[in-house]
Amino acid sequence: MAVARPGGTPAVKPSPLGESLISIDRVGKTYANGTIALEDISFDVRDGEFVSLVGPSGCGKSTLLRMVAGLGPITSGTMLVEGLSPKAARQEKADTAFVFQDANLMPWRTVMGNVELPLELRGMEKIARRAQAAEALSMVGLGDVQKSYPRELSGGMRMRVSLARALAAHPRLLLMDEPFGALDEITRQRLNGELLRLCALANWTCVFVTHNVFEAVYLSTRILVMSARPGRIIAEVAVPLPHPRVPEIRTDPEFTRIVREVVSLLGSATDAHEED
């Protein structure tokens, strides 16, 4: 498979000795008007992991993710992505892909036009980039809608185009900000399965923001629970369930136990906030 990393094997899940792709050390974010969005965030993400950030609305998880992508300045602490500052990593290594909350497609371009954008911006010439984009589209099962326009597609299909776009540039690190939030439950579960399948094939490292606990437990190897604003990491929950995941796992007792643990942690996070 062209997108597998050379020497990487599919379905390898992280060894504790995996290389640290993201290093976050006591990072904080304060806005110009004095609002503290994030406080004292520290965690690492190792090669091959799937880490979910779960937290109440407004806790700053999206902000944090954007900082990892080099899209927002860090006001305190240090953050390293592949050993560089997030912005430098984005510019020099270009190994990071970001999937937004909504599909974020350019409506005036066809599906192909949208998927090939990252390669186009990089200066890749037409035939090569069309081929690479077509490959990405067929990986998400949309090989036959290349010439369609976004408005002709359903919400789920648009999100898959957005995924294909992220895929097309062969990233190493995938950052996702509640990408399936706007979709119905059936499509969401199906795309969860697709995402895991693609992650295994391409050996991606994922950081996934969501407030759907079931989704987080299904997808992740590790869950970080955040408090309400100012966002802090209040707990880390390991998810030792086997890979590759099967849909039946959603009713497994161990799955349910982990869900309950995360939910109660979230509950205390929100309660603590309300007491302030």
Partner 1 sequence: MRSAGPPILVFVVLIAVWQAACRLLEIPRFLLPAPTDVVEAWIENRESLLGALVSTFLSALIGFGAAIVVGMSIALAMSQSKLLERSIFPYAVLLQTIPIVAIAPLIVIWFGAGMPAVVVIAFLISLFPIITNTTAGLVSTDHNLVAMFELYNASWWQRMVKLKFPAALPYIMTGLRISSGLAVIGAIVGEFIAGIGGLRGGIGYVITSAAAQIKMPYLFAAALTSSILGIAIFILVSFVSTRFLRHWHESAIRREL
Number of residues that bind partner 1 (CB under 8 A): 25
Q: What minimum distance in Å lies between the beta carbon of 210 and partner 1?
A: 18
Binders of partner 1 in range 211-230 (CB under 8 A): none
| Interface residue with partner 1, options 102, 194, 252, 261 (CB under 8 A) | 102
Q: What minimum distance in Å lies between the beta carbon of 118 and partner 1?
A: 5
Is there a contact between 126 and 87 (Cβ–Cβ < 8 Å)?
A: no
71 binds partner 1 (CB under 8 A): yes
Q: What minimum distance in Å lies between the beta carbon of 69 and partner 1?
A: 6
Binders of partner 1 in range 115-174 (CB under 8 A): 117-118, 120-122, 149-151, 169
| Interface residue with partner 1, options 98, 180, 204, 255 (CB under 8 A) | 98
The Cα–Cα gap between 269 and 256 comes to 20
Stretch of residues binding partner 1 (CB under 8 A), selected from 22-30, 92-100, 224-232, 266-274: 92-100
Q: Which contiguous run of DSSP H or E holds residue 24?
A: strand 20-30
Closest to 138 (Cα-Cα) out of 260, 2, 272: 2
Q: What minimum distance in Å lies between the beta carbon of 117 and partner 1?
A: 7
Is there a contact between 161 and 219 (Cβ–Cβ < 8 Å)?
A: no
Closest to 124 (Cα-Cα) out of 160, 94, 146, 84: 94
Helices (H), 140-252: 155-168, 185-202, 213-219
Q: Are strands 222-226 and 205-210 parallel, antiparallel or unpaired?
A: unpaired
Summarize as ranges the residues that interact with partner 1 (CB under 8 A): 66, 69-71, 90-91, 94, 96, 98, 100, 102, 104, 106-109, 117-118, 120-122, 149-151, 169
